[in-house]
Structure 1
C-alpha cells in the first residue's frame, strides 16, 4: 500500500500571500478519484441546493424551519405557493441519522422520495413532511403531523398499516385535494391568466381574418370599378349589394371564413359597415399615391387637369400626372379628385398647389 503525503490533501500557497488570506481545507476535492461516489453525489446535490437557495433567498427550503402557509399575509399566499411549486419539495441526499426504536435503529430512506413524491425531509427536525399539505394547509384543516411537527416513526413505514399511506387517504381526503391543487398549480398552461391570453390571441386572429376578408372584397371592387352598396342590404334581401355578396362568396369557399363573418361575427366587430369600407378605400388610395410618388422621384412631370360636375351637382377637379419612370416608360397616373367651389383659374391653381405640396412634388419640375 503506497504512502500518501500531505500534499495529497493540502494545496501549496504562494509565499507572497499574506497570512490572513491563507486558508487550507482538509476536505478532499470532489473531482479527486479517491473521493467515494456517494460523497461526490452529496456535494453535487448541495451545490444545486445552494444555487436554488441563492435564487430564492426569501423562501425557507427546510420544512422544519418555515412558518405555516396561512400565517403569511392573505395577499402574499398565492405568490408564495407559486414560488414553492417552482422550487419543488425539499428532498436532500445525505447520511440520514439513525433513530432508536427500542432495540432497533432505523433511518429515513431516500427511496421513499420515489415512492411518495410529495414527501419532504427536514434536516433541522430530522423528520418527514408533506409538501402539498403544507402549500394548502388551513387553520381548520391543519395537518400538524406532516406540516408542523414532522413524522419520524421510520419503523412503521414498510408495515402493512403504513402511516404515509394512511396520510394519503382516500380520493376525497385532504391530502388528495392538496395533491390535485398542486398538480393544477404546476400546470402553467391551465392557469387563468394563460387562458385569458389564449382567448385574446384567438379573438385577435379571428378579427384579422374578418378584416382581411373585407379588404379583399374592397380591392376587387375597386379594381373592377364596381359599386359597393346595394339597394337593399337587409339579411332577407336576395341581393345585398356587391360588397356583402362578395364577402358571402368568400365565406362559401372557405369554412374558416364562413364561421366568423356576417351573421356569425360579433355585433361590434363585423368589419362590413360603410364607414369601414370607406376607411379601407382611403388607406389603399394613400398606398397607391405613395407608390406613384416613389416612381416619379425627382424627375420632370406634366399634369392633366379637368373638371366636371357629378350627379349631385358638385363641381370636382381631377388631377392626372404624366411622367417617365426609371425604366424609360411613359406613365399616366390618376392622382387625385377634389371638390372645388368653382372652376376659376385661381381656385384650380390653389387646389393644384395644395395637392403637389402634399405629395412633396416640386412645381419647378412640372
Structure 2
C-alpha cells in the first residue's frame, strides 16, 4: 500500500528451479524475498493454482509456508478447477475429448450445420405431433452444437445440453457423413457414431449435465467483475449441499433418465447385475469381482461428484469462508447491512491477532464505534463501492490517521486475493 492508499503490486522476477517440488519452490520464494529484505513473517496471503504440489494440505507449498507464518492465509484461485477436477476421473476426461471431436465433425461445414438444423426441426415437429413436446413462445428453438471452451465454464454446460437436445439429429448427420462423406470423414464419423450411441457415453453425458447444472451458478458468480462475497459464500454452501444430495439420493433418478433416453433411441442397455470387464490394463483372469452397476455407480457417479466436492472444499475451507465473510464487514457497499463492529473485532482476534497488541485490540473496538457513527453514517461513505476505494478515501481525508487501527485492518484485508477466474482480480474489486 503506497502513501496514497493505492494497492501496488510488484513483479520480483523469474526464477529458474531444478524441479517443481514444494520444498524447492519454497526455497526459491524465500530467496527472492530475502533479496529484497522482505521478512517471511510479514506474509499475509498466498494464492496458487490447483496443482497438488501447491495446495496439498500437508506437504504442498502453501502448507510449508503456513508452518513458518501462520498468517499467510492460502486462497486457491478457482479458475477452471471444477471442470479440471471432474476430468481427473479418466472416463470423464475421455468423454470431453470425444465431445469436442463430435462437435468438430458435425460443425465442420455450413452444409453439416444446415443438415443438423433441418433434421432437428423435423425431430421437433414429430415430437410435437405425438405430444412429446410442449409448445409455446421461446420453446423448441432450432440451434446448433456448442463447442466447450476451457476458458469459459458455462460453455461446457451449454455443450452438454445442446448435444442432449440434438442427439438424434446429430446421429442422423453422422449417418449421412458415413454414407456420402470423404473416406477420412466416413471413418471418423463411424468411430464417433459408435461411441456416441453407447450406453457409456449417454450415461456420462447426462451425469455431467446434472453436475455442471449444479455448479454453474457458483462458477458464474466467481467470474463476475463485481463480487458479493456473502452471496458467493452462500452459493459455495448450497453447491456443496446440492452435490451431496445428488450423491446420496439421485442415483436412481439419473439411471431412470439415462435408460429412458437410450430406449427411445434404441441404444443397448447393459445388464447391471453382470460382472464388469475392464477392457484395458488387466487380463480377464485378474478382474476385480464387481458388477457393471458398481462401475457406473462407484467409479463414475460417486467419483465424479466426489471430485467436485473435494475441489470446492479445498478451494473454500471453513476458515477461508469465515475470513471472507468477516472481511466483508469492512466493505462500504451496502454498509448499513454489512458493517458490524463485532465481526471486525472477531476478524482481528482470530486471523490477525499477531498484528495487534492486547491494548490495540481494545482501542480498535472503541475506534470502530466512533468510525461507525462519524464515517459509516456519513454521506461521502455511501459513494464508495469497494474496500480499495475506501482505503484511498481514508488517506485522502486523513481519517487513516484518526482511525489508524481500522486502516491497518483494511490494509491486511487487501492482501487477500479472491478465488476468481483471473489472477488479476483482488478482494477489492
TM-score normalised by structure 2 residue count: 0.22
Higher helix proportion, which one? Answer: 2
Indicate the structure whose relative CO is greater, using CA pairs within 8 Å and at least 6 residues apart: 2
Higher strand proportion, which one? Answer: 1
Larger radius of gyration: 1
